[in-house]
Amino acid sequence: MTVPDQQAVAPQGVEAQYRQALDQGRFLIQHCAGCNRAVFYPRMICPHCGADKLAWTEPDGRGEVYSTTVVRRKPEAGGDYNVALIDLQEGVRLMSRVEGVAPDAVHIGMAVRAQVAQQDGRGLLIFRPNQEAQ
């Protein structure tokens, strides 16, 4: 019996491509040529219209906090941190965290900007308050 090896069939899945770009300091989302809408999380097929015409695009980076939570953590474990749902200007919502401000100072509607941080040699998507928009 042979079991199809997913890795062999698709060594470069869309998620791997997304991660690879992040590791290189670039934040990419997808854009669908079929319905002209932005797509995130990375997929093979557009969730809006079902087309497979997805292309990578670099978003503007500006967004707004949709919801925010403070995750409590002991100081020796790194202290409290923020987890937020961010609405990008392009119309997609994603989960990330807001840094550069106290975790409980993040508020709904806050203007933020995407940034790719480096953590343990990997790219990590975070957001910071967008000063220009305050």
Q: Do residues 14 and 40 touch, judged by C-beta distance below 8 A?
A: no
Q: Which stretch binds Zn ion (CB under 5 A): 17-25, 44-52, 94-102, 111-119?
A: 44-52
Least distance to Zn ion from the beta carbon of 93, Å? Answer: 16
Which amino acid is it at 61?
G
Residue that has been written with the tokens 């219209």 in this structure: 49
Task: Choose the binding region for Zn ion from 49-57, 84-92, 103-111, 126-134 (rule: CB under 5 A).
Answer: 49-57
Q: In terms of CB distance, is 46 or 110 closer to Zn ion?
A: 46
> End-to-end CA distance of the chain, in Å?
62
**Subset of 18-37 contacting Zn ion (CB under 5 A):** 32, 34-35
Examine residue 48 and tell whether it contacts Zn ion (CB under 5 A).
yes
The rounded Cα 95 to chain-centroid distance in angstroms is 6
Give min distance, CB of 52 to Zn ion, in A.
9
- Can you tell me the distance from the alpha carbon of 69 to that of 17, in angstroms, rounded to the nearest whole number? 29
Nearer to Zn ion, 48 or 72 (CB): 48
For residue 122, with 0-12 CB atoms within 10 Å meaning exposed, 13-18 middle and 19 or more buried, which class applies?
exposed
61 contributes a contact to Zn ion by CB under 5 A: no
Residue ranges binding Zn ion (CB under 5 A) = 32, 34-35, 46, 48-49, 51
